[in-house]
Amino acid sequence: MTTAFLPTSPLPSQGDRNAYYILTGDYPYGSKHFEAGNMCFLSERSFRKYISGERSLSVFWRVTMVEDNSLITINSEVLQPLNDELVVFLLAVNNPRERLNCFLERHGLDAAVTARPGQQVMVDLDQHLFPGIIRYVGKIVSGSSSSVLAPFYFGVELQGDCEGKGRTNGTYNDREFFKCKPNSGLFLPFNKIQFIPALGGEAMKQEVKPEAAALVPVKVGDVVGFYLDDVFTQGIVMAVYKERNDWIVKVCSEEEGATDVFREIPMDSVVKEGLLSPAPETDGDPGFHKLTKRERSESGENLEGSQVTLDVNSVVQISLDKGNSVTGTIRWVGYLPKTEYKTAGVELDGEMGITDGEWQGVRYFQCPPKRGLFVKLKSCQPDMRFLAEGYPPLYPSPLSVQKSPPVVGNFPPLRDGTAVRVLKGPMKGIQGHCNSCYMDAALFSLFSCTSVLDSMLFKPALPPDGAVQKILRDEIVNPLRRNGFVAASSVMHLRHQLTEKGQCSSFATSEKDPEEFLNLIMHHILGIEPLLTLQSGGHKEQECYCYQIFMDKQEDLVVPNVQQLVEHSFISSDLKLVEIPSCFILQMPRFGKEYKMFSKIIPSLELDITDLLLDSPRECFVCGAVATQECSACFRDKKFADTGLKQYCDSCCKQAHSHYQRRAHKPSKLHIPEEFRDQTCSASLRIPREKLELFAVLCIETSHYVSFVKYGPEKEDWMFFDSMADRHGDENGFNIPMVTLCPEVARYLELPVAALAMEQPRDMKGVAKRLFCDAYMYMYQSKKMALYK
């Protein structure tokens, strides 16, 4: 049941005397339509009336829209309060949808509030990032009226090779806000900036002054070399400053693969690119730590072999007799009784072992029966599917593919230009291995560009299940959001844990359905609340995590959209949503991997669930007044519109059913919320629409899952992910995941239905055919409800 709530807000500031709010949903008002993300305010006097006294229970407030200074009456359910320090930064974001995303995700907004002049940042220009320094924070124009706050912008001076790519020398409208070289400055809203976290001791650091620049051998943007843990490494200079009497260089290591991980290195320990000597010779890849002879012997390596240290969770292959070999994951390393050599307890990928992790009555690790094996550590070799000779230099080093180190912290989802920079390209996304595509595609869809299910990562878990949550967060989601890449070994680690928790011996080797994986990890392991609560025909409520669309074949639906399919399915099953879901996962009407009911399905970028909600106010689809009756038979009447449930006010219901073809219909009474009962005859009252936003689509073709993800607000902002897009090597090779942009999707979304129906799949450009023809699962979100769940 949807319930009205009263937004709370801090008291208006003394200087402004207004209370500000942001719309979390679209709101029609007369001939106007205010998008979610628009902002409004009301005076201190009105504010106090609404939160106290006789009007404290009022759902409708009289506010002023910042967009055009118009006065409207708005349902307070769509409002979220803002304080002044957030308002000034949000006002600088022109696109309402993007503004709402910034408010809901908060990471960039919180960083903007605390940012100060002199701070290093990365500037987003045409989907490329450039280093810069904040020189000014504040307003550059007066407010739109005396009662509205003025937006705050960041004045940034571009650094290094980016000098000259700006648009100003620090002046705006003939007023100087800071000084820099011509065309080296920019005034930007906060959403076009990536704020670099300040490291310790900032107060002791002195930025390089122009007159001292000539004395410093390196500058921002230079490529330098240095030693990191005895490994020769290269990186990009992000800042140069003096700390007490020493010059320090802040470097983003190319090995780290992210712009928010930095090393502070003394100036005399770095060498500029042009002066770099050839990399020191080693027995293998120069990026590997050179082990001592004893270390290499202990880890199972000979002097001529690969220099990869094997440890718990390493993925390995073991040679057996007659040239046979098996693969598995090391679960224990140590010395067994009466043995002088280091032993590995390995969980095999198949039932070719002799134990379940027990040796002579003592348990060393846990695995399914006949999947465990104890062998000499030196008999184990890195699994060549993850570590191959001649690894292409374009890709991450073999060491990182063999075993991805955990990434601890809280990393926001990737959006807009940042998503493109971090995720686009080969060896990006999640690496597929051994029928893992169902899991790879689902995880990429749920976590790469949205935070709607981040509760799975941080909800307190019971001790037995904490390991699963930790793997999901630190070995998969965080590396994906920080580096744009997750090695197959990390997903295999999760699959082994799910095999144990789910009591299904094939989770680590066999192909599954995405919904089977999601139900297992959400319900049985992490125990998060069901995403959906449904009621059928007034019977007991049912809870679930995914909704399967069931419906009879509709001859008139040649190329349906998702909105139509959901409405038909709900009508057929007499279903209603008990509450607005924060995440709505829909399975399309198809059975198995071969049969699908429709050859094409049009993605609905927004899913309107207003009329699918139980006991929610509804609008008469004829006159717009508050609806009192619903008719499921009219929904199938071809004389009416092909979308939208058919509900009426009393007078329109009587008139519609006076037609001889509809006299046998049996409309059902609707529940009307208390605050709407006096408005049933009024067409001037606008019923707020509840809409969900599409953020990802899983597709399947010939038993292989891929995914499409919406990474930004524009129609062209789509990316396509395939965890097994390419392969390096043959049987002993490895899969190469790939993320590509697919703006061509927008072209087909804009086609008329008749034209789309005539499009031959083989002629559709790029990967668009897979989105329209192979859809398996659609994922929608309500960021407004994610605030409360």
Contact 492, 329 (CB under 8 A): yes
pLDDT band at 679 (very low <50, low <70, confident <90, very high): low
Residues 428 and 521 in one domain: yes
Helix/strand/coil percentages in the chain, nearest 5: 25, 30, 45
Residues 162 and 116 in one domain: yes
Contact 588, 516 (CB under 8 A): no
Q: Could you read off the pLDDT of 249-283 as tens digits, one per residue?
A: 877 765 444 444 567 788 767 776 544 433 333 33
pLDDT of residue 603: 92
* Mean pLDDT confidence for 762-789: 84
Evaluate if residue 402 carries a pLDDT over 80. no
pLDDT of residue 230: 56
Contact 576, 533 (CB under 8 A): no
Q: Could you read off the pLDDT of 515-546 as tens digits, one per residue?
A: 888 888 887 777 788 888 888 876 778 888 89
Q: Could you read off the pLDDT of 194-206 as tens digits, one per residue?
A: 887 554 444 334 4
pLDDT of residue 399: 35
281 contact partners, CB below 8 Å, separation of at least 6: none
Residue 704 a catalytic site member:
yes
Residue 585 belongs to a domain: yes
pLDDT of residue 75: 82
pLDDT band at 57 (very low <50, low <70, confident <90, very high): low
Residue 174 belongs to a domain: yes
Least confident of 49-53, 148-152, 407-411, 604-608: 49-53
Distance (Å, whole) CA 365 – CA 329: 12
Contact 440, 434 (CB under 8 A): no
Distance (Å, whole) CA 703 – CA 719: 21
- In terms of pLDDT, which residue wins out, 441 or 634? 441
pLDDT band at 771 (very low <50, low <70, confident <90, very high): very high
Residues 659 and 767 in one domain: no
pLDDT of residue 693: 92
Largest CA distance in the chain: 94
pLDDT of residue 397: 39
> Of 144-158, 410-424, 629-643, 682-696, where does the model show the most confidence?
410-424
Residue 784 belongs to a domain: no
pLDDT band at 232 (very low <50, low <70, confident <90, very high): low
User: 264-281: buried (b, 16+ CB within 10 Å) or exposed (e) per residue?
Assistant: ebeeeebeeeeeeeeeee
CA-wise closest residue to 300 among 376, 399, 384: 376
pLDDT band at 754 (very low <50, low <70, confident <90, very high): confident
Q: Is 293 exposed, middle or buried (0-12, 13-18, 19+ CB in 10 A)?
A: exposed
Residues 435 and 521 in one domain: yes
Residue 406 belongs to a domain: no
Q: Is 448 exposed, middle or buried (0-12, 13-18, 19+ CB in 10 A)?
A: buried
Residue 553 belongs to a domain: yes
% of the chain beyond a pLDDT of 90 = 14
Which residue is catalytic, options 449, 699, 704, 742? 704
pLDDT of residue 398: 39
Distance (Å, whole) CA 56 – CA 722: 53
pLDDT of residue 330: 85
Residues 112 and 187 in one domain: yes
Residue 764 belongs to a domain: yes
Residues 433 and 518 in one domain: yes
Residues 484 and 420 in one domain: yes
Q: How many domains does the chain have?
A: 7
Residue 437 a catalytic site member:
yes
pLDDT of residue 594: 59
Residues 416 and 479 in one domain: yes
Residues 523 and 538 in one domain: no
Contact 545, 585 (CB under 8 A): yes
Residue 622 belongs to a domain: no
Tokens describing residue 343: 């032993």
Residues 459 and 557 in one domain: no
Residue 721 belongs to a domain with what CATH number?
3.90.70.10
Evaluate if residue 225 carries a pLDDT over 90. no
Tokens describing residue 573: 């099953």
Of 687, 710, 726, the position where a domain reaches its end is 687
Q: Which amino acid is at 224?
A: V
Least confident of 169-173, 323-327, 441-445: 323-327
Owner of token pair 């997750």 = 486
pLDDT band at 365 (very low <50, low <70, confident <90, very high): confident
Evaluate if residue 614 carries a pLDDT over 90. no
Q: Could you read off the pLDDT of 275-332 as tens digits, one per residue?
A: 443 333 333 332 223 333 333 344 433 333 334 567 777 778 887 765 677 888 888 8
Evaluate if residue 720 carries a pLDDT over 90. yes
Evaluate if residue 77 carries a pLDDT over 70. yes
Residue 372 belongs to a domain with what CATH number?
2.30.30.190
**CA 644 to centroid of chain Cα atoms:** 30
Residue 780 belongs to a domain: no
Which DSSP symbol is given to 208? P
Q: Could you read off the pLDDT of 558-592 as tens digits, one per residue?
A: 788 898 898 888 888 888 888 889 899 999 887 55
Q: Which amino acid is at 317?
A: Q
Q: Could you read off the pLDDT of 2-44 as tens digits, one per residue?
A: 333 334 434 334 344 788 999 988 888 877 888 889 999 988 7
Residues 420 and 521 in one domain: yes
In this prediction the pTM is 0.55
Q: Could you read off the pLDDT of 462-511 as tens digits, one per residue?
A: 556 678 888 899 899 999 998 889 988 889 888 888 777 655 656 666 77
Which residue is catalytic, options 252, 437, 583, 742? 437
Phi-psi region of 477 (alpha: psi -120 to 50; beta: other; left: phi over 0): alpha
Q: Find the domain containing 255 and state its range.
A: 202-275
- In terms of pLDDT, which residue wins out, 775 or 46? 775
pLDDT band at 656 (very low <50, low <70, confident <90, very high): confident
pLDDT of residue 570: 87
Give me the chain's average pLDDT, please: 76
CA-wise closest residue to 26 among 644, 561, 609: 609
Distance (Å, whole) CA 396 – CA 391: 9
Residue 46 belongs to a domain with what CATH number?
2.30.30.40
Residues 489 and 521 in one domain: yes
pLDDT of residue 309: 67
